[in-house]
Amino acid sequence: MLHFQYSTLIDSPVEVVWNFHERQDILQKLTPPWQPVEIIRREGGLGVGAITEFKIFLGVFPVGWIAHHTECEPYRLFTDEQLEGPMESWTHRHQFIPEGDKTRLTDAIAFSMPGGEIADSLFGWFVLQRLEDMFRYRHEVTQRECENYAANR
């Protein structure tokens, strides 16, 4: 099992950062422009039972990915897990922690690749690097949008 974590302190209250993640267009907003992803559906918001379906492209090969939310504590955290997709397992926890008037946004992912420990050790570094790139982008967008919103309220 591999682990990834990315955290950013955002100069906005938790409610603003949480509400940003509830936007109907959040997946489009947080998908990096270089990432070949097609969003098929998003149902149920952030609550338990919510479903998100993507099509990601590995080269020219489309791969379906369906995740469902297994945990949700409003303004604190939500967790999604892969039901179908390219990983052997995938659990992604989104945490929103108040630090004074600011919010510590942390994305933590535990995952395994098909092929077990051998695949994790051979290719895990590549997946971890792609996650780093993606979450740097996502957190920059979130920080900019939430701080702009908070400044203009």
Measured between alpha carbons, how far is 12 from 87 in angstroms, rounded to an integer? Answer: 34
pLDDT, one tens digit per residue, over 7-57 is: 999 999 999 999 999 998 999 999 999 888 889 999 999 999 999 999 988
Instruction: Give 16's strand partners.
Output: none
Q: Which amino acid is at 53?
A: E
pLDDT, one tens digit per residue, over 77-93 is: 999 999 999 999 999 99
Q: Which tokens is 63 given?
A: 């791969």
Q: Which pLDDT score, from 0 to 100, does residue 105 have? A: 98
H or E segment and range at residue 50: none
Contact (CB, 8 A) for 16 and 105: no
Q: Global pTM? A: 0.91
pLDDT, one tens digit per residue, over 95-138 is: 999 999 999 999 999 999 888 788 778 788 888 999 999 999 99
Regarding the domain delimited by 2-151, which CATH topology (the fold level of the hierarchy) does it fall under? Alpha-D-Glucose-1,6-Bisphosphate; Chain A, domain 4 (3.30.530)
Handedness of CA 150, 10, 138, 41 (dihedral sign): negative
